[in-house]
Structure 1
Amino acid sequence: MARRPDNPCPGLLVIDKPQGLTSHDVVSRVRRLAHTRKVGHGGTLDPMATGVLVIGIGKATKLLTWVSGHSKEYRATIRFGVATNTDDAEGVATAAVGCDSLSEDQLESALAPLRGDIMQVPSTVSAIKVNGKRAYALARAGEDVELAARPVRISRLEVLEPPRPAECILEETDADNAPDVQALSGPVRVVDVDVVVECSSGTYVRALARDAGEALGVGAHLTALRRTRVGDVPLETAMTLEELSAAVEAATPKGEPDAEPVLPLVPLGEAARTMFPSLLMTEAEAGAFTHGQAPRRSRDELAQWATEVGYRPGDASEEETSPIAAVAPDGTVLGLLRIDASRLRTVLVF
């Protein structure tokens, strides 16, 4: 018997998102393959961007809050000499000062202030809400959008290859579609620079390009962006949508119209144990946990366990405190816990 669409087999998929699709487009395709609407993603990628997109199915969607909060790594190409209204190649040019060359010292002077703990103003066309509306919707409607700077951490920002002087051809701006943008067209000298970025959740790589261009006085935008890691999930573990479709077709029983699709999922429990430290419970504790009751451990017991697994509970904020996988004696992951004021609290029961 096929599993009901509202109760799919839970787990995670790691997709290599192609260029031109939104993250929601990928979710829609997986929904069709999995025959369920209980599908979500752990961290939006712009249509221009490619790379790691973690997809949750069924109860595994409840893990996506922590997936999206993990650090991320990107490979990007910054084009110096042209600024756009979206800070990437999907926008239209707002300034074309041009750039003939960049020395290592010039690049370093622009990138150095962007490393470490910084305050970053998100891109105007981001998905951040302003008075209940998405910033990109307001910007595309012609409204002025001012976003507040937010704290982010850039743990790595390095140039990968020597700068490449080039020439790009700007297409004339459609004044009807972008009435506030100066009409720019023709050839412009630019310099392309490939960089690697390791950053905290909430960082806008295209805003880094924008700020570097402003620092040099020539403007800049992204022409390529590829996410190569989310937390401990590398690009090497990702599959394309075509590979996913082929895997589902090969694994799903033939000649059974109502057969449940078989997806190459990372099981819910395995995903939780990979993402979070594990706390082994007794049979009695496991039985109580299924009803939402957290195990009782003394302060000393929790301190010893935290030392053994290298766990740092942080403060009492649920958003900032890393969860703990609650493991039954048989190895089954039953849900998530956290340490709050030296006590275990139930976060989620699978």
Structure 2
Amino acid sequence: MTTTLLGGRRPLHNARVACSARPAFSRLRRCGVFASAAVSSSPAPVSEPSAPDVAATEADTRADRTADASSSAATASDAPRPGYHPKAPRVPPTLIKPGPGSRIDDMELLKNGVILVDKPLGWTSFDVCGKIRNMIRFLEVKKVGHAGTLDPNASGLLIVCTGKGTKFCDDFQAQDKEYSGTMRLGEFTPSYDAESEVSERSAWEHITDAELQAAAAKYVGDIMQVPPMFSAIKVGGMKMYQLAREGQALDLPPRPVTISSLRVWRDESSRQDVHFYVHCSKGTYIRSLAHDLGRALGTHAHLVALRREASGDYRVRDAWQMADLITEINSRRDAHRAAAEAATAEAAAAAAAVAAAAGAAAAVEEGAAVEAGAAVEGQQA
């Protein structure tokens, strides 16, 4: 068989063509060779292809090579890397909230749980987590965290995650929040709340309810908000409230937040205090909202009361009172310890009984051996 290159100029006898594993015609086209098999030993003439045929052949060749490269790349990307082990899927934590009789039926749930707590005034979020961590230490739970800080002067819903449930803290923290509270007009504090003393006062009596509603409407939607100096935001490795207490003042850049709804109203008994209910996005500072609303009204304002009503689908009405939670966990812990001690005592008694039975059996065997030995000696005598 004789193979002829394009143009029929240089015959190649018994030519071997290196191509990919494709049908014969496709392989030869990729290598730019047309093979013509003849019954006789003489080669059949091959005509010179036209320019369009050559261009089409080259285009097919490029397409085939591109397809081969894409297939190889896909195969390489799909192949697992050496030593690679896929991560196990996260197990959703169990929601632990007060039920009938406010009982936690299974303490094992605390190893991967979410506890809804109604944080009392005066407690920090860290205080709540530390108390729960100490109470469930007997379950060997090492990780306890929360999904969103509440200031000591604020109360309401605090989502506490335990054990493997702490992996979901960021998910819970990213949810929208709902707050109720009270701001006081005409007074300024450096912390924007009642944690610091009033340092400035201004007139507020001229503010009408219509002006209050109009000012509040300006803060509904996507807004830019400047965080308060007294906050946990870190600058240069230090928290802002630490710098503020040292007398350092920094200009913080505004951050985007979303106020989905804001309702404000006043009671006739105290026109200086403005009550509110707000639905907002993660990262919204209600203290800054009170401060900014006061400025929009041409006066000062600071936060005097705050309560977190909801976080995502979780609401404070479904949360544990801290005192009830402490009582419940302590009682269940004591019952757990008593059961463990009883099981230990039972196991020790069972082990002692087995040892006594083994000793009695050994004594019987020893007595039988002595009798057998005496019988043998008697026969020999």
- The normalised TM-score by structure 1 is 0.62
Task: Kindly provide the amino acid, as one letter, of the partner of residue 196 in structure 1.
Answer: Y
Question: Aligned pair 1:31/2:133, yes or no?
Answer: yes
Q: 2-side partners of 1:19 and 1:64: how far apart? A: 22
Q: Deviations over 1:279-302 (max 9, x none)?
A: xxxxxxxxxxxxxxxxxxxxxxxx
**Correspondence for 2:310 among 199, 217, 229:** 229
CA contact (8 A) 1:138 1:144 kept: yes
Q: Deviations over 1:24-67 (max 9, x none)?
A: 11111111111143100000001100000000000000000111
Identity of aligned residues (%): 41
Q: 2-side partners of 1:12 and 1:255: how far apart? A: 20
Q: 1-side partners of 2:277 and 2:269: how far apart? A: 16
2:111 aligns to what? 9
Distance 1:202 1:247, change over 3 A: same
Q: 2-side partners of 1:117 and 1:163: how far apart? A: 32
**Correspondence for 2:154 among 34, 38, 49:** 49
1:92 aligns to what? 197
CA contact (8 A) 1:116 1:154 kept: yes
Distance 1:220 1:49, change over 3 A: same
**Correspondence for 1:70 among 157, 171, 175:** 175
Most deviating of 192-201 and 129-138:
129-138
Task: Kindly provide the amino acid, as one letter, of the partner of residue 301 in structure 2.
Answer: A
Q: 2-side partners of 1:192 and 1:259: how far apart? A: 55
Task: Kindly provide the amino acid, as one letter, of the partner of residue 30 in structure 1.
Answer: I
Q: Deviations over 1:98-148 (max 9, x none)?
A: 423532211023212111000000111111111221111111111112211
Mark the structure with the bigger radius of gyration. Answer: 2
**Correspondence for 1:218 among 288, 299, 303:** 299
* SS of residue paired to 2:230: coil
The aligned runs of 1:121-160 (5 Å cut-off) are 121-160=226-265
Q: 1-side partners of 2:203 and 2:118: how far apart? A: 34
The aligned runs of 1:253-332 (5 Å cut-off) are 253-254=334-335, 256=337
Distance 1:224 1:121, change over 3 A: same
Root-mean-square deviation (Å) = 2.0
CA contact (8 A) 2:266 2:273 kept: no
Q: Deviations over 1:282-327 (max 9, x none)?
A: xxxxxxxxxxxxxxxxxxxxxxxxxxxxxxxxxxxxxxxxxxxxxx
Could you tell me which runs of 5 or more consecutive residues in structure 2 were left unpaired when the two chains were aligned.
1-108, 342-381
CA contact (8 A) 1:27 1:41 kept: yes
Q: 2-side partners of 1:124 and 1:96: how far apart? A: 19
Task: Kindly provide the amino acid, as one letter, of the partner of residue 241 in structure 2.
Answer: Y
Most deviating of 242-251 and 53-62:
242-251
Q: 2-side partners of 1:247 and 1:74: how far apart? A: 28
Kindly tell me the number of residue pairs found equivalent between the two proteins: 230
Could you tell me which runs of 5 or more consecutive residues in structure 1 were left unpaired when the two chains were aligned.
1-6, 167-190, 261-350
CA contact (8 A) 1:100 1:165 kept: no
* SS of residue paired to 1:44: coil
2:164 aligns to what? 59
> How far did residue 251 of structure 1 move?
3.0
Task: Kindly provide the amino acid, as one letter, of the partner of residue 118 in structure 1.
Answer: I
Distance 1:147 1:46, change over 3 A: same
Q: 2-side partners of 1:30 and 1:259: how far apart? A: 21
> How far did residue 247 of structure 1 move?
1.5
Task: Kindly provide the amino acid, as one letter, of the partner of residue 220 in structure 1.
Answer: A
CA contact (8 A) 1:164 1:193 kept: no
Task: Kindly provide the amino acid, as one letter, of the partner of residue 33 in structure 1.
Answer: M
1:244 aligns to what? 325
Distance 1:250 1:153, change over 3 A: same
Q: Which structure: greater strand fraction?
A: 1
Q: 2-side partners of 1:105 and 1:27: how far apart? A: 43
CA contact (8 A) 2:229 2:249 kept: no
Q: 1-side partners of 2:340 and 2:211: how far apart? A: 60
> How far did residue 80 of structure 1 move?
0.4
Distance 1:259 1:240, change over 3 A: farther
Q: 2-side partners of 1:120 and 1:112: how far apart? A: 15
Q: Deviations over 1:72-118 (max 9, x none)?
A: 00001010010110000111222111423532211023212111000
Task: Kindly provide the amino acid, as one letter, of the partner of residue 165 in structure 1.
Answer: S
Q: Which structure: greater helix fraction?
A: 2
- The normalised TM-score by structure 2 is 0.57
CA contact (8 A) 1:252 1:259 kept: no
Q: 1-side partners of 2:268 and 2:238: how far apart? A: 39
Task: Kindly provide the amino acid, as one letter, of the partner of residue 249 in structure 1.
Answer: N
Q: 2-side partners of 1:85 and 1:258: how far apart? A: 54
2:220 aligns to what? 115
